[in-house]
Structures are given as structure tokens and as C-alpha cells.
Structure 1
């Protein structure tokens, strides 16, 4: 239920959100992507949004496909990033995270915190299962927000799962991941009251 409410928001506001995402300062996260994954790796992006990061990785010689829960976001992403026209697909977490191949790396920027805790656990398990041995996983999630109520929803109807760093780590380690690095970042859109956790793990 939490995820479906959130997807509805992204469906209804895809154009304005894509403009916002394309303008965000994500240099630090993108540089971290380059450091985390070897060139020419087969990568999966979960929550590709505007196609910003997938496009960046393609430009840097990575083989990337992306998925997103919003059909409209994917449609618009393909228009502004034509190089991704055959690389972006609609998929709802956690159950549709199934592929007939495995990946060298998987990353997810500002997406997984929209899941309920149970759906998050299942998604992390699925991510582990579709990674090659020694494959790496990078996720960026909001660690703290001052714009949500006690039930986890903001005024726009989006759900945010707020966990402590140790809880994010524990969920990843419970399926077999080894944590390589964690970083706390300021918000890329310069919003006060929002902190981000970037976590890198290895299978």
C-alpha cells in the first residue's frame, strides 16, 4: 500500500520531477558509482527515474538497464535520454525483481526508502540473488527527514521508511551481503532537514 501511494504521486508529477532530478547536484554519488563498479560491468538500476544516472553510466562505458515503478517516468526518461530507449523497463517492487540473467552490480538512488520494511527485506534478498558472485550493491536512501508525519507519509502522499544506519546494515547483512562502506551525505537539492545514507555492499 505504501509503495502504490508513492507511485501514484510520481505518475501524476512525472514532468516536474524529471526536471528537478536532472538539475540535482549528484556529482558525489555519480563519482561513487564510478569507483564502485568496474568499467563495462553489467548493471541494474532500481528506480531509474529521469534516466539521469543510467545515462551517465552509459556515457562512461557501463552496460546498464533500469527499472522504475512509474510508467510515465520511464516514458519521459526515454524522451530526454534517447540512448536509454531500449534499456528502461516498468517493474513493481518487490515481486517483479526477477531476471533471466545476473548482474555484476546493482544500484538504487533514492528509491528503496519508499518500501515498507517487509517489502524492503524481500527486495534486498532479491537483489542479492540476481547479483553475480562478488557483485556489488550500492544504495542511497534518506536517513533522516523532517517533512514526514508519524505514519511515514509526507504532505505529497509519499511514504518514507526511516531506519537507523544499523538497521539498514542489518537488513543487508541478513541476506549475506558484506558491507564495504557507508557515507552520510547532505541533500543534493539543498533541502534542509534531509540526510542521506549511501551504503556499498558486496556479495
Structure 2
């Protein structure tokens, strides 16, 4: 993940955690419940405030989670102390290493911060971390009107701009089958931002 992007999350962790906790994520959380079987062993990539990690644990899933920002991890542990032993600092794509495999993996609003090359590497590692027939749910921004021609917003964060077809193609090239695609509006009611959620299977 690009340094400027991580720095933004490091410097604004407490404000961002508050914002993420207030976002309307009912659609995504309902989709998580429909995607993964109860009691599945799950990995969340880019846990932010820990909001979805806690939701899934309370819904009877066994979840551990990672984030590229140390400060976001610390803030998440403050507001959700019950997650203390479940949150880990790892930076994509190189740190995405585990000794065990998972029944499912999900990533909300994270992978679009990667370059195309880093995205490919990350998706390939995700594929290898899944048990056979394991599912991967990812939600990424499909369109943003607040980035420049190089993909940066005014906060210095990078966003990968790919078309719907390009997101599908890169996932299929890694080996995933497409189970479900869904486009939706922004959970923080920002106009000019559209999201794409994909459910993939190994």
C-alpha cells in the first residue's frame, strides 16, 4: 500500500474510527452473513475501526483481522477492547502471510488503495489462504469524482481506478469464480462515489 495513503490513516485514526462507526453498512453486513456459513473461520483485511469484525464475531463467526495502520488498530482496540487479541498490523501485499487457511476472507473499502500490481499479488495470496471452495467478499470504490488523473484525492490517498470489467478480469485471472456482483451508493452519503461488491469463490 502506498506510504502517503497509510500516513493519512495513521495521522487521522481517531477521527476516522468515529466516522466509520457511524456509517450505514447494513447492506454489506447482511451480505457478509449471506456469504459465509455460521462458525466459519474468517479473515478481515483492512478492519479500520473493528466495526465489521465485532459484528461478525457477535454473529457467531471466528474472526481475526488486519490493518495497515498501527494507529487504526490501536484506536479499534480502545473502542472495542474485546477485539484486543484478534487485531494485527500487516501491510499489503507482502505481510499477508498466515500459517493456517480460512473458510472465508472479506475486505471492505481497502483493496482500491493498492496499485494494480500490488492488487494482483494480494488477490493471489488471498486465493492461496482460502480453503477449497472458500469465499472472498470484497468491496471497492468503482467510481470517485474526487481524485485526480493519477488517482490521488486531496488528502493524498491513492485510489485505483478500474472499470467493472477490469475488476472482474483481474479476479478471474487469479483463479476466482464470480458468485455475485453488486453496485451500491456510498454508506456515508457522499455523492460522486459508487461502490462495487464482489463475492468470489476459490
Q: TM-score, normalised by structure 2?
A: 0.99
Look up the SS of the partner of 2:93 in the other structure.
coil
Runs of 4+ displaced beyond 4 Å: none
How far apart in 2 are the matches of 1:34 and 1:59? 11
SS at match of 2:32: helix
Give the Cα–Cα distance (whole angstroms) in 1 for the partners of residues 183 and 199 of structure 2: 12
Mapped partners of 1:192, 1:143: distance in 2: 13
User: Is 1:92 the counterpart of 2:73 in the alignment?
Assistant: no
User: Counterpart in 2 of 1:126?
Assistant: 125
Corresponding residue of 2:38: 39
2: CA distance, partners of 1:97 / 1:33:
21
Task: Determine the C-alpha separation between the residues in 2 that align with 1:94 and 1:190.
Answer: 30
CA-CA distance at 1:82 after TM superposition: 1.3
Name the counterpart of 2:187: 188
2:59 aligned residue = 60
Q: Which residue of 1 aligns with 2:104?
A: 105
Structure 2's unaligned 5+ residue stretches are none
How many angstroms apart in 1 are the aligned matches of 2:14 and 2:94?
27
Asked if 1:145 corresponds to 2:149, the answer is no
The number of residues matched between the two structures is 202
1:21 aligns to 2:23 (yes or no): no
Q: Give the alignment's TM-score, normalised by structure 1.
A: 0.99
Deviation at 1:184, TM superposition (A): 0.2
Residue segments in structure 1 that go unaligned for 5+ positions in a row = none
Q: Shift in Å at residue 3 of structure 1?
A: 1.8
- 2: CA distance between counterparts of 1:80 and 1:187? 24
Note the alpha carbon deviations across 1:22-48, whole angstroms, 9 max, x for none.
000000000000000000000000000
Superposition CA RMSD, Å: 0.6
Question: Counterpart of 1:167?
Answer: 166
Deviation at 1:175, TM superposition (A): 1.3
Once the two structures are superposed, residues 119-145 of structure 1 have per-residue CA deviations (whole angstroms, 9 ceiling, x without a partner) of 000000000000000000000000000
What is the alpha-carbon distance in structure 1 between the residues aligned to residue 81 and residue 38 of structure 2? Answer: 21
Counterparts of 2:94 and 2:169, CA distance in 1 = 21
